[in-house]
């Protein structure tokens, strides 16, 4: 009996040891099952993040295409406006140059006429001075001789009046020529101002086109940077997903 009890005791101890080992293995299995569940959840979450990243990348790509089309249209419109402005500027410049040429011709003609009037005026004044001096000498000679014919004196006075009238006419023509010269100068200055304004408008259009091109280039670089960052994130997420699968 005593031997049976000892055998029974040993069997009980072995049973208890096996039960403890079984409980330990079951705990390990439970922990492993929990780990698998958590890993599955994390893997699904990572897959969701990867999908969101890919969707975001696709959305950015669509936005880039839309933006590129809009910018291309804007640049195209700006180019068309610039071309039209340049053509208009060329036409205006051609008309302005032609107007300037005509005004220069008018000014040169007015200056030439003014110079001719000045010469005629000087000649008329010189002749009037000579006639007056001649009249004075004739009158003095007549007084000394004691004979001054009234008709001679009257004729000389009449000729002097005619010369004075001619002098006044020439002076009036000279004033008119000066006014024409001033008007031509004002018109010439106005045409020069219009040409400068047209040059300023052309420079402004060129600046706008350059700014649009710069903005398109900057946005393209920005898209490439975002695309690179999303590619790195996607790669990291895929690597983490493979690790969890393993």
CATH number of the domain where residue 149 is located: 1.10.287.1490
Q: Residues with Cβ < 8 Å from 241, sequence gap 6 or more?
A: 43, 46, 47, 50
pLDDT in tens, 185-237: 676 666 666 666 666 666 665 666 566 566 656 666 665 666 566 566 556 65
Domain count, the chain: 1
Q: What is the DSSP letter of 42?
A: H
214/210 Cα distance (integer angstroms): 6
- pLDDT digit string, tens, across residues 4-59: 566 566 666 776 777 777 777 777 777 766 766 666 666 676 667 667 767 776 77
pTM of the model: 0.35
What is the tens place of the pLDDT at every residue in 127-139? 766 766 776 676 6
User: For residue 149, what is the DSSP state?
Assistant: -
Residue 88 has pLDDT above 70, yes or no: yes
Task: State how far the Cα of 29 lies from the Cα of 31, in Å rounded to an integer.
Answer: 5
Give per-residue burial for 42-52: e unless 16+ CB within 10 Å, then b.
Answer: ebeebeebbee
Confidence check: pLDDT of 245 > 60: no
Q: What range defines the domain where residue 30 resides?
A: 2-245
* pLDDT value for 239: 64
């Amino acid at each position: 009996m005593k031997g049976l009890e000892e055998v029974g005791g040993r069997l009980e101890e072995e049973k208890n040891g096996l039960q403890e080992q079984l409980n330990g293995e079951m705990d390990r299995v439970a922990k492993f099952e929990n780990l698998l569940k958590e890993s599955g959840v994390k893997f699904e979450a990572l897959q969701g993040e990867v999908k969101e990243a890919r969707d975001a990348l696709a959305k950015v790509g669509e936005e880039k295409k839309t933006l590129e089309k809009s910018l291309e249209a804007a640049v195209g419109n700006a180019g068309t406006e610039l071309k039209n402005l340049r053509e208009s500027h060329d036409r205006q410049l051609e008309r302005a140059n032609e107007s300037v040429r005509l005004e220069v011709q008018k000014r040169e003609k007015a200056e030439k006429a003014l110079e001719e009037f000045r010469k005629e005026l000087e000649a008329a004044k010189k002749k009037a001075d000579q006639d007056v001096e001649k009249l004075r000498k004739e009158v003095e000679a007549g007084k000394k001789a004691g004979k001054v014919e009234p008709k001679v004196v009257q004729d000389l006075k009449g000729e002097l009046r005619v010369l004075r009238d001619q002098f006044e006419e020439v002076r009036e023509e000279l004033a008119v020529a000066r006014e024409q010269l001033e008007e031509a100068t004002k018109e010439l200055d106005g045409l020069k101002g219009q040409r400068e304004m047209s040059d300023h408008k052309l420079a402004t259009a060129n600046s706008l086109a350059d700014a649009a091109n710069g903005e398109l280039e900057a946005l393209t670089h920005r898209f490439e940077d975002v695309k690179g960052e999303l590619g790195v994130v996607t790669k990291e997420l895929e690597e983490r997903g493979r690790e969890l699968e393993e």
